[in-house]
Amino acid sequence: MNATKKIYTVKEVADLLGISRITVFRWIKSGKLKANMVGGSYVISVENLPHHLMGGLPEEGKAEIRKAVALALKEYGETFRALAKE
């Protein structure tokens, strides 16, 4: 995150958090993310960004998630495929 930047666009917030712009719009609409309308576009103040998400997930966390998903697929892959067909 740019420490000198004070205001972010919806696209910039989506890119920073690794989520879609639609998700950012949903968060704004639901009140989960505070934003202001400027010239027909939403802008988000740096103070309103979810700081605990700004750093992203550490590599150890990502590796742990990948390991858990691989294990679940190995153990329950056939079940997942059967459920997907329903």
pLDDT at 72: 93
- Asked whether residue 9 falls in the same domain as residue 47, the answer is yes
Q: Considering its fold, how many domains does the chain have in total? A: 2
- Is the pLDDT confidence value at 51 over 80? no
Full domain range(s) for residue 31: 1-55
Identify whether the C-beta of residue 13 lies closer than 8 Å to the C-beta of residue 49: yes
- Asked whether residue 67 falls in the same domain as residue 85, the answer is yes
- Asked whether residue 45 falls in the same domain as residue 63, the answer is no
Q: How far apart are CA 83 and CA 65, in angstroms?
A: 22
pLDDT at 17: 83
DSSP 3-state of 32: coil
- Asked whether residue 46 falls in the same domain as residue 10, the answer is yes
pLDDT at 56: 62
- Asked whether residue 77 falls in the same domain as residue 42, the answer is no
- Asked whether residue 12 falls in the same domain as residue 51, the answer is yes
37: left (phi over 0), alpha (psi -120 to 50) or beta: beta
- Asked whether residue 4 falls in the same domain as residue 35, the answer is yes
Strand partners, 37: 42
pTM for this model (two decimals) = 0.55
